Amino acid sequence: MRDYYFDTELDLGSSGVANYSLDDLRDLCSLDLSGIDRLVLSDGKSLGDDAVRQALADRFTGGDAGRVMTTSGSSEAMFLTMSSLLAAGDEVVVVEPVYQQLVAIARSLGCQIVPWPLRACSFDADIGQLASLVTGRTSMIVVNFPHNPTGTTITRSEQQELVRIAARAGAYLVWDAAFEDITYGSDPLPHPDREYERAITFGTFSKSYGLPGLRFGWCLAAPEILDSYIRIRDYVTLHLSVLVEFVAQRVLTHADALIADRRALATRNLGILASWLPERADLSWTPPRGGVSAAIRVEAADDVEELCRRVAEVHRVLVVPGTVFGPPLRRHIRLGFGTETPDLLQGLDRLAKALDS
């Protein structure tokens, strides 16, 4: 991603939806930025602007703004959570494969990582296996459902069992909900922080909202957990930009319209991908149940990293090698289908040419 994100013509590697412009926001939700000239560019509050925290609270916590912190994307939420709540030697159970940051920070702190592998091929979660991995020594359980990069998810009953497992161990439960608003065939899952006081939920504008350039995210947790983050934030970002929060608060009042548009795009594109893949005997997959990325197995590729480099450099299309997510995906690529439909069609055509060659 770092090498090729800005140097390819078509992006089929990202895990977010097509990006909105400010003009798009005005058209879709009558975004009103008329007060921006009066905005004072002062320091912001450590936990976030009161108005934007309340907007998030009204959407996610039943109106309780004390359980909300705004962050620079969900990346800062992950960093603050693990840096504040973990120490060297702590045992952390992490779903595998996984978005790198959800495991790399804990590993850098000297934690003992216990992988919770998804089932091979189907990528289903084995809750029974998780129960056997979590012990009294477990400090934290880290998951993201719908899952990046495979698009798998769990049922409501499985989520309830996940919470019970964490509660029995007294472990923190990190719930990365970046893709919660785009699901196929099931309703979005509720946030576990509403039912378990040691659960922490992350959210972001960078995935389902199509606004990664705002770098706006949030963390939902008990007030005492959020308060513990401030001492570290004082040494890194201090607070979120008041300009970003000004725009974010107004976007949140129209969030459903933005998400509905991109959910429709994702559903349409998933149908295109589902029609294209059976034509390729060299590829296989398990269709995602959420999000806008899929793990595609490349049957003949001995080196998917070299394949992805060639696709980027010769065919100008970005796809991501599954090796960056861990050994279970060493023969896979992450293919993102959240882009505009014409770009998806052109990208799939170029990818087919690359595979044929």
Do the beta carbons of residue 101 and residue 75 sit within 8 Å? yes
236 in a structural domain? yes
Question: What distance in Å separates the CA atoms of residue 315 and residue 306, rounded to the nearest whole number?
Answer: 13
Tokens of 206: 């960078």
Give the mean pLDDT of 310-320: 96
Question: What distance in Å separates the CA atoms of residue 121 and residue 10, rounded to the nearest whole number?
Answer: 27
Is 137 in the same domain as 225?
Answer: yes
Structural domains of the chain, count = 2
Domain that holds residue 175: 34-253
pLDDT in tens, 172-210: 999 999 999 999 999 999 999 999 999 999 999 999 999
Question: What distance in Å separates the CA atoms of residue 354 and residue 329, rounded to the nearest whole number?
Answer: 20
Is 235 in the same domain as 270?
Answer: no
Is 61 in the same domain as 189?
Answer: yes
CATH of the domain at 201: 3.40.640.10
Which residue, chain included where needed, has tokens 């905005």?
39
The pTM assigned to this predicted structure is: 0.95
Q: What is the pLDDT of residue 186?
A: 92
Q: What is the separation of C-alpha 315 from the centre of its chain, rounded to a whole number of angstroms?
A: 27
Is 120 in the same domain as 220?
Answer: yes
CATH of the domain at 330: 3.90.1150.10
The one-letter amino acid code at 138 reads T
Q: Which residue among 236, 253, 270 closes a domain?
A: 253
Do the beta carbons of residue 312 and residue 355 sit within 8 Å? no
Is 203 in the same domain as 227?
Answer: yes
Q: How many CB atoms lie within 10 A of CB 156?
A: 11
3-state secondary structure of 150: coil
Q: How many CA atoms lie within 13 A of 201 on its CB side?
A: 25
pLDDT in tens, 87-117: 999 999 999 999 889 999 999 999 999 999 9
Is 114 in the same domain as 17?
Answer: no
